[in-house]
């Protein structure tokens, strides 16, 4: 439906506050209703996480989105460590039937060797392409993305969209997945991705773009709780 956005968001209980701050940021800016789908691994019946790599619990569940949508319609997926500073409808309006997915096709080398929780921040082909995905859920090639298939595929196959041909992967503007601490800080961005570490972690609380995250976080709280936290 054009008048409702289906938005799947990566969720990890260890950083649940990041999820809720992101949702708050979307609600503040959206001009049409949004259906949020938290990808909480415990609620994904039929899927068992067999992968042993990854820095969060939603690293592979994002590929279940077409399956969860019954291979019908459209959906957006985003990592939970983001803040939306523009109307999400503008991203929704970029849907193009000729593509199976549309992503920001980053081409960069990381500036930072380690990210949150001390995880190694490695360079690899198509890094961060899968952190924002406009899914054409009805595309025929997505029919292979069943829980059993996904839990048995290597990360490189999934995150590089190797079940698709290159011409089936559309490119969207980098401002819809702007990497804090990797890209320069500027005003003309739409979706900030705290890929190195969300400002909810103390060591990243005063890093690039952290003020945007802090604003959405405090907007979650009413006046009383805000005063209590700021004491």
In SS3 terms, 26-74 reads as HHHHCCCCEEEEEECHHHCCCCCCCCCCCCCCCCCHHHHHHHHCCCCCE
Q: Is 229 helix (H, G, I), strand (E, B) or coil?
A: helix
- What's the CA gap between 107 and 227, in Å, rounded? 43
Whole-prediction pTM value? 0.93
Question: How far, in whole angstroms, is CA 221 from its chain's centroid?
Answer: 23
- Token readout for 92 is 């929704």
Spatial separation of the C-alpha atoms in residues 197 and 200, rounded to whole Å: 8
At 94, which CATH number? 3.90.550.10
Digitized pLDDT (tens) for each residue of the chain, 231 residues in all: 579 999 999 999 988 999 999 999 999 999 999 999 999 988 988 887 787 776 677 889 999 999 999 999 999 999 999 999 999 999 999 999 999 999 999 999 888 767 765 567 778 899 999 999 999 999 999 999 999 999 999 989 999 999 999 999 999 999 999 999 999 999 999 999 999 998 888 888 888 999 999 999 989 887 556 556 555
Helix (H, G, I), strand (E, B) or coil at 215: helix
Domain containing residue 102: 5-230
**Total domain count for the chain?**
1
């Amino acid at each position: 439906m054009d008048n409702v956005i289906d938005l799947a968001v990566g969720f990890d209980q260890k950083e649940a506050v990041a999820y809720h701050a992101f949702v708050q940021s979307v609600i503040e800016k959206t001009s049409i209703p949004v259906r949020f789908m938290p990808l909480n691994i415990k609620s994904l019946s039929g899927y068992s996480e067999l992968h042993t790599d990854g820095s969060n619990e939603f690293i592979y569940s994002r590929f279940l989105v077409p399956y969860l949508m019954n291979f019908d319609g459209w959906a957006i997926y985003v990592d939970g460590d983001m803040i939306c500073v523009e109307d999400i409808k503008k991203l929704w309006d970029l849907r193009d039937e000729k593509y199976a997915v549309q992503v920001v096709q980053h081409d960069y080398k990381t500036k930072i060797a380690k990210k949150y929780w001390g995880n190694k921040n490695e360079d690899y082909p198509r890094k961060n392409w899968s952190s924002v995905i406009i899914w054409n859920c009805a595309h025929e090639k997505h029919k292979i993305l069943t829980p059993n298939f996904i839990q048995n595929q290597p990360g490189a196959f999934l995150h590089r969209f190797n079940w698709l041909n290159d011409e089936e992967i559309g490119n969207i503007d980098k401002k819809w997945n702007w990497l804090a601490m990797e890209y320069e800080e500027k005003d003309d961005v739409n979706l900030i991705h705290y890929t190195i570490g969300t400002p909810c972690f103390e060591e990243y609380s005063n890093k690039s773009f952290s003020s945007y995250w802090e604003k959405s976080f405090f907007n979650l709280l009413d006046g009383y709780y805000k005063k209590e936290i700021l004491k």
